[in-house]
Amino acid sequence: MIEGVRNNPVKSFIDDRGFLTQVLPEGEESFQVKRIYSTGNFSKGVIRGFHKHKREKKAFFVPSGVAKFVAVDDRKDSKTYKEINTFILSPLNPSVLTVPTGVYTGWMSLQNDTVVIGMSSEVFDKDNPDDERLDPHAYGDVWKVKDR
**65, 46, 61, 62: which is closest to 114 by C-alpha?**
65
Provide the mean pLDDT of the chain: 93
Q: Which pLDDT value is given to residue 89?
A: 97
Instruction: With a cut of 80, say whether residue 65 has pLDDT above it.
Output: yes
Say how far apart CA 74 and CA 82 lie, in whole Å. Answer: 6
Q: Which pLDDT value is given to residue 29?
A: 65
Q: Which pLDDT value is given to residue 26?
A: 64
What is the torsional sign of CA 63, 82, 49, 146?
negative
Q: What is the pLDDT of residues 111-143, one digit of tens each?
A: 999 999 999 999 988 899 899 999 999 999 999
Average pLDDT over residues 89-96: 94
Average pLDDT over residues 36-54: 96
Say how far apart CA 49 and CA 105 lie, in whole Å. Answer: 6
Q: Which residue has the higher pLDDT, 11 or 84?
A: 84
Instruction: With a cut of 90, say whether residue 27 has pLDDT above it.
Output: no
- The CATH T-level fold of domain 32-133 is Jelly Rolls (2.60.120)
> What's the pTM value of the predicted model, to 2 decimals?
0.92
Instruction: With a cut of 70, say whether residue 25 has pLDDT above it.
Output: no
Percent of the chain scored above 90 by pLDDT?
Answer: 81
Q: What is the pLDDT of residues 94-116, one digit of tens each?
A: 999 999 999 999 999 999 999 99
Say how far apart CA 35 and CA 68 lie, in whole Å. Answer: 22
Strand, helix or coil at 3? coil
